[in-house]
Structure 1
Amino acid sequence: MVSMVAGSNAALTAENPDLDTAMIGIGWELVPSRGSQSEPVSMVIMCGQDGRALSDSHLVFFNQIASPEGSVAFAGTEDREQIDIQLNRVPESVGKIVVLVYVDPDVRGPGTFAAVRNVYLRVADNRDRELLRFNVPRENMDKINAMILGELYRHAGGWKFRALGQGYETGLSAIAADFKLKL
Structure 2
Amino acid sequence: MASLIPGANAALTAENPGLAEVLVGFGWEVIPSRGPQAELVPLAIMCDADDKAISNDHLVFFNQLESQDGSVQFVDTSDAEEIDVDLSLVPEAVEKIAFLVYVDPDVRGAADFSAVRSAYVRVATKDGRELVRFDVPLADNRNVHAMLFGELYRHRADWKFRAIGQGYANGLAGVARDFRIEL
For residues 72-151 of structure 1, the aligned pairs below 5 Å read 72-108=72-108, 111-151=111-151
Residues 123-161 of structure 1 show CA distances to partners (whole Å, capped at 9, x for unaligned) of 000110000100001122111110000000000111000
Structure 1: which 5+ runs fail to align? none
How far apart in 1 are the matches of 2:68 and 2:140?
A: 35
Q: Provide runs of 4+ in structure 1 moved above 4 Å.
A: none
How far apart in 2 are the matches of 1:123 and 1:32?
A: 27
What corresponds to 2:38 in structure 1? 38
Is 1:144–1:168's contact at 8 Å kept on the other side of the alignment?
yes
Residues 7-45 of structure 1 show CA distances to partners (whole Å, capped at 9, x for unaligned) of 000011000111100100000011110123211110000
How far apart in 2 are the matches of 1:121 and 1:2?
A: 12
What corresponds to 1:15 in structure 2? 15
How far apart in 1 are the matches of 2:112 and 2:102?
A: 9
Is 2:137–2:165's contact at 8 Å kept on the other side of the alignment?
yes
How far apart in 2 are the matches of 1:117 and 1:109?
A: 16
Report the TM-score when normalising by structure 2: 0.98
Give secondary structure in 2 for the equivalent of 1:70: coil
Aligned-residue identity in percent: 56
> Which piece of structure 1 moves more, 110-119 or 61-70?
110-119
The count of residues paired between Structure 1 and Structure 2 equals: 183
Is 1:104–1:110's contact at 8 Å kept on the other side of the alignment?
no
Aligned amino acid, residue 177 of structure 1: R
Report the TM-score when normalising by structure 1: 0.98
Is 2:27–2:119's contact at 8 Å kept on the other side of the alignment?
yes
